[in-house]
Homo-oligomer: A and B are copies of this chain.
Amino acid sequence: LSSPDAPRILVNGTECSSVDVTDRGFALGDGLFETIAIRAGAPRFWQAHAERLLDGCRRLAIPAPSIDALAHELECVRAGASSGAARITVTRGPGPRGYAPPPEPVPTRVVGFYPAATAPAHKPRFSLRWCETRLALQPALAGLKHLNRLEQVLARAEWNDPTIDEGIMLATDGRVVECVMSNLFLVVDRTLVTPALDECGVSGVMRRQVREIAMRSGIDTEVRRVEPAEVERASAVFLTNALRGIVLVECIGDLQYSRHEPVVEHLMDRLETLDG
């Protein structure tokens, strides 16, 4: 842990590099996480991340952690750094063998800080591919950033080409859902369109910010089922995630998108001025 680029990690508030082998996060993927941008010395959109984490705990019946404790632990691991990435993991904690949740679970909190130097170089526009791996339709888990991420692991393993930045994932029924590490937006006839996430996908904190900006700006927004052909017809496609904000898509395979789109430029400008 002596390198300035090494992550700094607290487990249940204690500097630690390991978790109990009986932790249900390890045994069953029984938990949730948040990936948070640190910008100007503060976690960006902290309130929205905290709300999503608490909503996830409620849906999985994991006792909610103290948000104040998490904020304090994040300050500790950040140790004065002004930028980087944080990951907060909350699991149902240790338990005996078997699926039945312990009657009185003692959740595990892992708070890690990853200095900016370890992040990939910023690229203004992304090159995308279509992934073969599809997302299963599971309303009970849809929207959650839970620890069952094998679909994303398989999808991300589909390509090694470093010129490809992201992959679009369809659901098993053929609809467009999101990218491996980002949510997806289209601009179609000056209307903002993003796939509904009530049957699968991760409901991103940055996606929520962009929807709120669009609403306040009077931009028509549709959250609904999206077909692949619509992505190909869109005048612009962009991605959102907690670390990168809005990223324009340059191309999906051979299909090129224009560099300038007024709706996206407006959203990007407005997002930059938000302090959250």
Select A29's contact among B18, B138, B148, beta carbons within 8 Å.
B148
Select A150's contact among B16, B148, B151, beta carbons within 8 Å.
B148
**A103-142 CB contact bits vs B (8 Å, 1 = yes)?**
0000000101010001000000000000001101111110
Q: Which of the segments A73-81, A92-100, A244-252 contacts the partner chain?
A: A92-100
Chain B residues near A22: list those with CB within 8 A: 7, 17
**A179-207 CB contact bits vs B (8 Å, 1 = yes)?**
01100000000000000000010000000
Interface residues of A toward B: which range? 35 or more
Q: Which of the segments A63-71, A153-161, A212-220, A260-268 contacts the partner chain?
A: A153-161
Contact status of A137 and B172, CB under 8 A, knowing A26-B23, A26-B25, A28-B152: yes
User: Which residues in window 155-180 of A have CB below 8 A to B?
Assistant: 155-157, 172, 180
B136 pairs with A29, CB closer than 8 A: no
Q: Is A39 an interface residue (CB 8 A)?
A: no
Contact status of A29 and B156, CB under 8 A, knowing A21-B9, A136-B138, A180-B99: no
Q: Is A236 an interface residue (CB 8 A)?
A: no
* Distance, CA A181 to CA B151, complexed state (A): 22
Q: Is A49 an interface residue (CB 8 A)?
A: no
Contact status of A97 and B85, CB under 8 A, knowing A18-B20, A21-B16, A151-B140: yes
Chain B residue with Cβ nearest A139: B172
Query: In angstroms, how far is the closest chain B Cβ from the Cβ of A244?
Result: 13
Contact status of A118 and B96, CB under 8 A, knowing A17-B20, A25-B26: yes
Q: Is A60 an interface residue (CB 8 A)?
A: yes
Query: In angstroms, how far is the closest chain B Cβ from the Cβ of A145?
Result: 11
Most buried by B among A11, A33, A89, A100: A100
* Distance, CA A137 to CA B173, complexed state (A): 10
* Distance, CA A96 to CA B118, complexed state (A): 9
Q: Is A211 an interface residue (CB 8 A)?
A: no
Select A19's contact among B21, B118, B152, B172, beta carbons within 8 Å.
B21
A29 pairs with B101, CB closer than 8 A: no
Q: Is A34 an interface residue (CB 8 A)?
A: no
Q: Is A27 an interface residue (CB 8 A)?
A: yes
Interchain residue pairs with CB less than 8 A apart (12): A7-B22, A17-B21, A18-B18, A19-B26, A23-B26, A98-B156, A100-B156, A136-B141, A138-B172, A140-B151, A147-B150, A148-B150
> Told that A85-B97, A96-B118, A97-B114 touch, could you supply 6 new A-B pairs with CB distance under 8 A?
A18-B20, A19-B19, A60-B150, A99-B152, A99-B180, A100-B157
